[in-house]
Structure 1
Amino acid sequence: MDTLGLRIRQLRKEQKLTLEALAGNKLTKGMLSLIENGKAQPSMESLSYIAQQLGVESSELMEDVSPTEKRTVLEKAEKLYKVVFSELTDEHKQIVELINPIADKLTLSYESARLLDLYSRSGYHSKHEDWNSYYNRAMEMYEQLHLYNQSASLALFRGMIQFTAHRYEEALAIILQEHAHFDSPFDAMTTIEYLYCESLLFSAVGNYEQAQIKMKEALNFSKGERIFYRIDDLYRLACFQAMINGNEEDRSYYLQKVRQYGEFAENKYSTAIAEFLEAHFHNSFTHDYHKADVHIELSLELGKEIHTGKGNKEKNNNHYLLEKGKVLYGLGQFKEALPMLTKYEIPTYLHHPYDLSMAFEVHSYRALCYAQLGDQEKAMKESKIGHDLITELPDTPYKKFIVQTYTDLQKSSDSI
């Protein structure tokens, strides 16, 4: 049975029409049955008549994938794609398997473009080598349909692939080029997404002045449009940037904004992050370890509420282990600190130099604990790991600390 006949039969049954009703006064029941069973091909005139009877365009009958099927598949794929990052399992694989049977048959329409969009994104995450060809097809369809916001969003995805590969200069170049490429203004959410990513990438390459400009532009735009998309991410980035730059006034201001957003949106995750940022600040910048201890414990308690029943406890507490280990080291409790620091695992999802630099501190703190406990060999090994990891990253207080720790331990080792 051919595709055309199947499509006609499917639509007829969906509309609960009999053969006689669909045949009307221009076709016979027998001829229509032959067409549906692929034993006869309708003339263009008959095809137009059948389409009219079914209330669709002739082109819809001739497509390999019907609009109804595309919409059904797209609805399922969108639902899978909306699963939050922290709860992802094999959703990307499911999306690929869902769209794969129709991917090569999709013709120009919004549904087709979006399906190819999701297929390319999920194909990349599932490590399918051909994801790029479907990315190109999706981009072509979006541009033909003048769907510039969707095209811009997909282009942004491509740029951020370079970011996750730690090719920051390439990522920034792609995103700036794509932003300049689009003549039509983006919608509000796409505009904020671009400004946020540009700020993120300028800071990743060490251009803190431009990062600050883009961040403030995003915050002002968000206020002007009265939308809160990405606002918590922007406040956290601004707080972290101020911390790095030693700007206490901005740090306190944006930290308060993170807290206020958490209260306003009843978002416990933002509230927990605010406590974590405060703990980190006192650990790594003021070295007030008693204050750091208060805030990291508050962050842990809030985290427990968020992650109740959500997977591995150790994994959810991972960042707590690092900051708590630093607290214990700062308080001179080296034996207690070392197990905490040893359990900490640098997450594979960290890609920004700020996050990586902060995580790489663990090697220096382990080294310092080993040195205090008299194991010079392990101290040098850990400090060298941290030193080698941080070398290619931009200058930050973390890099300065890691390099200084390595230099001091090396001098100490040479003097023994």
Structure 2
Amino acid sequence: MLGERIRTLRKQRKMTLEALAGERLTKGMLSQIENNKAKPSMESLEYIAERLGVEITELLGTISYVELRKVLEKAERIYEEFRIYFKHSEETIQQSNKLIALIEPYIPNLNESYESARLLEIYSRSLFCLNREEWKLYCDKAALIYDLLNLTANRADIAIFRGITFFLEHRYQEALQYYLEERKHIETTHIKIDPMTQVNMDYYTAAIYSALGDIKATSEAVEKALEYSKKEKLYYKTDDIYKLATVVSLLVKEEEKFHYYLKKLKQYGEFVEDKIFEELCDVLYAEYLLHVKEEYQEAMSIIDQYLTFDENNQKVTGDNWNMLQKGKVMYYVKEYKKALNILKTIYVPKHINHPVDLAIYYTKDTFIALCYKELHNINKALEHAKISYDCFLPLPDSIFKTLCIETYENMRLI
């Protein structure tokens, strides 16, 4: 309380009651203030703060804007460097602890400012990284302040973050329900939603629907986001939207939509002059050739553009996804041992949690099983078919899941 803070600061400075009271206060009045029996006026508080050599905010237990801003700037630098969202590596855990140590002393005295809300948000995400359940409490406090200040973009980011936490546990239906409720809250309580936030919310709505395999709802959300982007002449997340639409069309074998969105993704890549989009479009088209058209040689010619062959060691290297495709195409051209050697190197990237992306990587064990079957190692074939089957079980239907289930059921009959 106020009295205790004044007494503590006075004793730290080795001042008597008389010395602190000076000419404008009496010793008795100051004693009553220190014992919380009297409330000082603002003028008296300013006088006491001046005598103690502190800001009045320190006496009141609040934090000055300047101090709060400095803490936030330091926290942002640490947070931006490591972007603590869903990673749980040693490095991000270390940085989470650093952020918690920085922010925690200020938590009890935070106010209803943007700086306070942002610190609460970063603090919450750091706690999440350490698997501490109380992260939700501080996340909700930040959301409440963003609501009060009508900071729509920040509020939407929290809704998206909370929704994605369900993804990590494959609780996709709960993710959808939570996110739609949050979106409704934002749309009904915030005065105006800026264009970037609107597109962001439409994109994540599509992403969650696609996780559930609801293609109609996904398409509607995608079209809504694209139509709004055109209207506002805004290209934010256009690449992500086209990528999602292209992959979803591939997974459900809607060839017309696949070609349409792939063309749009290519055009976007040409517009921004980014070579990454050229490779992405090639990789997606190679998946189409492998799993829909069954044109393996053409797929191989595309894949090999992005791989390196070491003649001395007879080893192929390249991007994880491209290597996965290479392993699959080697199976289809009956090079089973080579396919196995490649497929065994494939891993599911730690940052991936969306079922659409997971479905692509989970095919690894299906193809390992198929290779072992052709090499007459039935035990190993059944083992990997079961691994793939268990991974695909919570995911929505797709051409990859169908292949996985058919493979597993066939293996069990052998």
TM-score by length of 2: 0.79
Q: 1:147 to 1:382 in 2, by over 3 A?
A: same
**Take 2:99 and 2:389, find their aligned partners in 1: how far apart are those partners?**
41
Code of the residue aligned with 2:167 in structure 1: it is F
| Structure 1 residues 300 and 104: CA distance shift in structure 2, 3 A | farther
For the pair 1:144 / 2:151, whether they are aligned, the reply is no
How far off is 1:263 after superposition? Answer: 3.4
- State the 1:59 CA deviation: 5.6
SS at match of 2:201: helix
SS in 1 for 2:109: coil
Match for residue 251 of structure 1 among 242, 258, 279: 258
CA deviations over 1:334-360 (Å, ceiling 9, x no partner): 111101111112233332222222222
Question: Is 1:405 the counterpart of 2:407 in the alignment?
Answer: yes
Offset at 1:80?
3.3
Aligned length: 371
* 1:365 positional shift: 0.6
Evaluate the alpha carbon distance shift between residue 95 and residue 296 of structure 1 in structure 2; reply closer, same or farther with a 3 A threshold: farther
Listed as ranges, the matches of 1:1-40 within 5 Å are: none
Superposition deviation, residue 260 in structure 1: 3.0
Distance 1:61 1:194 in 2: 43
Q: What secondary structure is seen at the aligned counterpart in 1 of 2:104?
A: helix
Contact 1:276 1:299 in 2 (8 A): no
How far apart, CA to CA, are the structure 2 residues paired with 1:71 and 1:390? 47
**Counterparts of 2:219 and 2:127 in 1: how far apart (Å)?**
34
Matches within 5 A, 1:234-249: 234-249=241-256
From the superposition, tell whether residues 410 and 213 of structure 1 become closer, same or farther in structure 2 (CA, over 3 Å): same
**Residue type matched to 1:105 in 2?**
N
Decide whether the 8 Å contact of 2:170 with 2:394 is kept in 1: no
Q: Deviations over 1:11-55 (max 9, x none)?
A: xxxxxxxxxxxxxxxxx9x889xxxxx999885214458999xxx
Give the residue type in structure 2 aligned to 1:327.
V
Q: 1:215 aligns with which of 212, 222, 233?
A: 222
Q: Please tell me whether the aligned partners of residues 84 and 129 of structure 2 are also in contact (alpha carbons under 8 angstroms).
A: no
Residue 272 of structure 1 contacts residue 298 of structure 1 at CA under 8 Å; is this kept in 2? no
Map of 1:337 onto structure 2? 339
Change (3 A) 1:325 1:110: same
Structure 1 distance, partners of 2:169, 2:378, is 34
1:193-232 deviations in whole A, cap 9, x for unaligned? 2111111111211211011000110111112112222111
Report Cα offsets for 1:105-158 as digits up to 9, x if no partner. 312211101110111122212322321121122122223333343223212211
CA deviation digits over 1:146-193, x for unaligned, max 9?
334322321221122112221000000011111112313422222112
CA contact (8 A) 2:57 2:63 kept: no
Partner of 2:135: 131
State the one-letter code of the partner of 2:217.
Q
* Residue identity in the other structure for 1:291: E
For residues 284 and 93 of structure 1, do their structure 2 counterparts lie closer, same or farther at Cα, with a shift above 3 Å needed?
farther
The one-character-per-residue Cα deviations of 1:273-325 (angstroms, maximum 9, x if unpaired) are 22221222222222222222232233457xxxxxxxxxxx98x8322221110
AA aligned opposite 1:180: K
Query: Residues 281-300 of structure 1 correspond to what in structure 2 (within 5 A)?
Result: 281-300=288-307
Which is further off, 274-283 or 258-267?
258-267
Give distance in 2, aligned partners of 1:387 and 1:4: 67
Name the CA shift for 1:342/1:404 in 2 (closer, same or farther; >3 Å). Answer: same
Contact residue 113 and residue 139 of structure 1 kept, 8 A:
yes
**Range with bigger deviation, 367-376 or 80-89:** 80-89
Equivalence map 1:186-335=2 (5 Å): 186-300=193-307, 317-335=319-337
2:8 and 2:297 map into 1 onto residues whose CA distance is 72
Q: Percent identity?
A: 35
Equivalences for 1:361-380 in 2 at 5 Å?
361-380=363-382
Return the alpha-carbon distance in structure 1 between the equivalents of residues 255 and 105 of structure 2: 56
Deviates more, 1:253-262 or 1:203-212: 253-262
- Indicate if the aligned counterparts of 1:293 and 1:327 stay in contact, CA closer than 8 A: yes
- The residue aligned with 2:383 is 381
Does the 8 Å contact 1:350/1:356 carry over to 2?
yes
Structure 2: state its 5+ residue gaps.
10-19, 25-29, 35-39, 309-315
Work out whether residues 321 and 340 of structure 1, in 8 Å CA contact, stay in contact via their aligned partners in 2: yes
Compared CA separation, residues 254 and 92, structure 1 to 2 (3 A): farther
Q: Which residue number corresponds to residue 114 of structure 2?
A: 110
The two structures have a TM-score, normalised by structure 1, of 0.79
CA distance in 2, matches of 1:181, 1:250: 33
Match of 2:66 in 1: 68
Gaps of 5+ in 1: 8-27, 33-37, 302-312
For residues 409 and 103 of structure 1, the distance between their equivalents in structure 2, rounded to whole angstroms, comes to 57
**Which of 344, 350, 353 is equivalent to 1:351?**
353
Moved more, 267-276 or 130-139: 267-276
Q: Which has the higher contact order (CA 8 A, sep 6+)?
A: 2
Cα distance 1:372–1:31, how it changes in 2: closer, same or farther (>3 A)?
Answer: farther
Tell me the secondary structure at the aligned position of residue 112 of structure 1.
helix
- Distance, in Å, in 1 between the alignment partners of 2:325 and 2:374 is 19
Change (3 A) 1:212 1:366: same
Contact 1:206/1:395, CA 8 A, preserved across alignment: yes
Is 1:65–1:106's contact at 8 Å kept on the other side of the alignment? yes
CA distance in structure 2 between the aligned counterparts of 1:407 and 1:203, rounded to whole angstroms? 26
Residues 80 and 188 of structure 1: is their aligned pair in 2 closer, same or farther, counting only changes over 3 Å? farther
Query: Distance in 1 between the 2:203 and 2:408 partners?
Result: 34
> Which amino acid letter does the alignment assign opposite residue 116 of structure 2?
S
Equivalence for 2:14: none
Residues in 1 aligned to 2:341 and 2:390: alpha-carbon distance in whole angstroms:
23
The whole-number CA distance in structure 1 between the counterparts of 2:335 and 2:82 is 38
The code of the aligned residue for 2:404 comes to: I
The AA in structure 1 aligned to 2:173 is: E
Residue identity matched to 2:71: V
Pair 1:119-2:115 in alignment: no
